């Protein structure tokens, strides 16, 4: 009972307090931070949920009605009827109509996500067993992003979600994400942005997001990829334009692609 109470409590708290990461006893989605996710949440809350509740209540009512109305003591001679054309037509047509009502807005959202607007910047996410590597192809930046072990966490860093090198992107800009993998299937997923794409070795998938609020957003690999699947989180820090420029100038030095590759070559030749 106590557990159920916490689940309900968690639902309400999660709506207000933490925007960007899962919370204890959370039910439902994380708070949306992009238009795409807002549409997904609205689709779920305003259309799917009412339909689910209506169907559940209707079926429950039918079951209770049948139990009471047709119980053996009240109905000693059961009906021998095997067909009823009207009922059969209705229970085929009504679910079809419900599916069409759901499909139209669902496809609209899906196709909107699929069309990538003109991108302000491109990042590439590469899944490895078991961490994410990132590239900013236009900036010559390349780095790896590992989960921070529990013992090394700082006070504001969430367990199993914080990483050493975060992806940094500017707020209100279209970010195109190229997603691939180096070994097995992974999936790059960020709930608050409504983004989830498989990372497939030898193939590049694309998606995009436009973060509307400054903040740190957490996601996880969402394709079972092996023993440490649970330990390759995704952290995206959304910052103002100025902060992004600042980060870029530091990152160009810290994560310079040629230098890293030269170092690797030197190591290999030794
Ligand atoms: Cu993975």
**Could you tell me the domains of the chain?**
32-114 (1.10.287.90), 121-269 (2.60.40.420)
Angular region, 84: left φ>0, alpha ψ -120 to 50, beta rest: beta
* Backbone CA torsion sign across 118, 123, 126, 131: negative
Residue 183 Cα to ligand 1 middle (Å): 10
Cα 207 to ligand 1 centroid, rounded to whole Å: 17
Most confident of 14-23, 122-131, 247-256: 122-131
CA of 203 to the centre of ligand 1 (A): 15
pLDDT score of 190: 94
CB 41 within 8 A of CB 32: yes
pLDDT of residue 156: 84
CA of 49 to the centre of ligand 1 (A): 31
237 CA → ligand 1 middle, Å: 20
What percent of the chain stands above pLDDT 90?
Answer: 74
Distance between CA atoms of residues 194 and 31, nearest Å:
10
78 — pLDDT class (breaks 50, 70, 90)? confident
139 CA → ligand 1 middle, Å: 26
pLDDT at 72 over 60: yes
What integer pLDDT is reported at residue 3 of this predicted model?
A: 53
Distance 199 CA to ligand 1 centre (A): 8
Report CA(268)–ligand 1 centroid distance (Å): 27
Dist. CA 206 → ligand 1 center (Å): 17
- pLDDT single digits (tens) 111-129: 999 999 999 999 999 999 9
Distance 26 CA to ligand 1 centre (A): 23
Q: Which two tokens stand for residue 203?
A: 């193939």
Which pTM was predicted? 0.81
37 pLDDT more than 50: yes
- Confidence class for position 20, pLDDT limits 50, 70, 90: confident
The pLDDT tens digits of the residues spanning 196-206 come to 999 999 999 99
* 42 has pLDDT over 70: yes
Q: How far is the CA of 229 from the centre of ligand 1 (A)?
A: 5
Residue 17 DSSP one-character state = S
- Using the mean position of ligand 1's atoms as its centre, give its distance from the Cα of residue 165 in Å: 17
Per the model's pLDDT, the better-predicted residue between 38 and 26 turns out to be 38
Whether residue 53 has pLDDT greater than 80:
yes
In tens, the pLDDT along 206-250 reads 999 999 999 999 999 999 999 999 999 999 999 999 999 999 999
Q: How far is the CA of 142 from the centre of ligand 1 (A)?
A: 19
pLDDT at residue 1 tops 80: no
Q: Of 235, 223, 259, give the one whose Cα is nearest residue 123.
A: 235
SS (H, E, C) 28-57: CCCCCCCHHHHHHHHHHHHHHHHHHHHHHH
Residue 136 has pLDDT above 60, yes or no: yes
Question: Residue 99 C-alpha to ligand 1 middle, in angstroms?
Answer: 33
β-pair partners for 133: 126, 144
Ligand 1 centre and the CA of 223: distance in Å? 6
């Amino acid at each position: 009972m106590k557990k159920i109470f916490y689940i309900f409590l968690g639902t309400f708290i999660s709506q207000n307090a933490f925007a960007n990461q899962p919370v204890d006893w959370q039910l439902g989605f994380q708070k949306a931070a992009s238009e795409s996710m807002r549409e997904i949440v609205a689709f779920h809350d305003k259309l799917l949920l009412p339909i689910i509740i209506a169907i559940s209540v209707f079926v429950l009512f039918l079951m209770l009605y049948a139990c009471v109305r047709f119980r053996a003591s009240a109905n000693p001679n059961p009906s021998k009827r095997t067909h009823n054309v009207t009922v059969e037509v209705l229970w085929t047509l009504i679910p079809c109509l419900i599916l069409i009502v759901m499909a139209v807005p669902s496809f609209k959202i899906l196709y909107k996500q699929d069309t990538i607007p003109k991108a302000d910047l491109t990042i590439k996410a590469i899944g490895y067993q078991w961490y994410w590597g990132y590239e900013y192809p236009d900036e010559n930046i390349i780095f790896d992003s590992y989960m921070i072990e529990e013992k090394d966490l700082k006070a504001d860093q969430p367990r199993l979600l914080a990483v050493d090198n975060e992806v940094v992107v500017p707020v209100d800009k279209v970010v195109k994400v190229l997603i691939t993998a180096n070994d097995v299937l992974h999936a790059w997923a960020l709930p608050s942005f409504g983004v989830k794409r498989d990372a497939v070795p030898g193939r590049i998938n694309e998606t995009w997001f436009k973060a509307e609020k400054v903040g740190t957003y957490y996601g996880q690999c969402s394709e079972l990829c092996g023993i440490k699947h649970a330990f390759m989180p995704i952290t995206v820090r959304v910052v103002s334009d100025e902060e992004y420029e600042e980060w870029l100038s530091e990152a160009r030095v810290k994560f310079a692609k040629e230098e890293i590759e030269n170092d690797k070559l030197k190591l290999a030749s030794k």
